[in-house]
Amino acid sequence: MALVPRFGARLQERTGPRLPVGAGLGLIGAGLLLVSTADAGTPYAVYALYLLVLSVGTGLCAPALTLTVVAELPAHQAGLGSGLNTAAREIGAALGVAVVGTVLASRFHGDPRDPAQIAAFTDATGGGAAHGGRGAAAGLGRRGGRVPEHRAEGVAHGPGPGCSAHRRGRMLAL
C-alpha cells in the first residue's frame, strides 16, 4: 500500500479519477471476497496475497478520492478539506467495524468452533463482498460530469491548469 498511491496519482493525472477509483474499489471487493474464503487451513502466504490485493485497491483509490475532494475547494480551504476527508474516512472505518461486529455478535448464537457455523459465516461474508464488487463494477460504468474548474490551483499537489487531465477536461465528478 505504500508504493501504489504514487501509481494511482499518476494514473489519475492521465485518465481522471474514474479509472483509479473504480479499479481500486474493484480490487478492494476482490480482496474482501478472497479473504472471506480463508479458513484455519489457509497458508499464511496465500492469506498475505489476499491482503495484498486489498491493500493495492486501497492504495489505488485513496489518492484519487482525496485529490478530487481537495480540488473542489478554494486554495485557502484545501488543508481543512483534506483533514475533514481523512477524519471522515477514519470515523467511517471505525464505525463500520463496530457496527458489523455488533450485528454479527448479536445474530450469532452457538459455538464459534462448529464447522457448519464457520462455513455459513464464510458464505455470508463472501456474499457481502460479492455485492460490494458488483457495486464497484456499476460505479465504473457510471457517467460522470466534468468538473467546471479546479479551484485548488494553489495547492502544491492539487491539479491545476498544468495538470494534463485538467487540460483535457478529464477530471470527472464522482
d(CA 74, CA 84): 15
pLDDT at 117: 77
pLDDT at 31: 93
pLDDT at 24: 93
pLDDT at 56: 94
pLDDT at 1: 66
Closest CA to 33 of 123, 150, 115: 123
- Write phi, then psi, for 146 (nearest 5 degrees): -80, 135
Q: Which amino acid, one-letter code, is at 12?
A: Q
Average pLDDT for runs of 10 along the chain of length 174 = 84 89 93 89 92 93 86 88 88 88 75 78 70 65 46 42 40 36
d(CA 150, CA 171): 9
Q: Are 137 and 130 in contact (CB under 8 A)?
A: no
Q: Are 59 and 24 in contact (CB under 8 A)?
A: yes
Q: Are 152 and 75 in contact (CB under 8 A)?
A: yes
For 23-52, b/e burial (b = at least 16 CB within 10 A) is bbbbbbbbbbbbbbeeeeeeeeeeeeebee
Would you call 64 exposed, middle or buried from its count of C-beta atoms within 10 A (0-12, 13-18, 19+)? buried
pLDDT at 132: 64
d(CA 63, CA 53): 17
Whether pTM > 0.75 for this model: the answer is no
For 109-121, b/e burial (b = at least 16 CB within 10 A) is eeeeeeeeeeeee
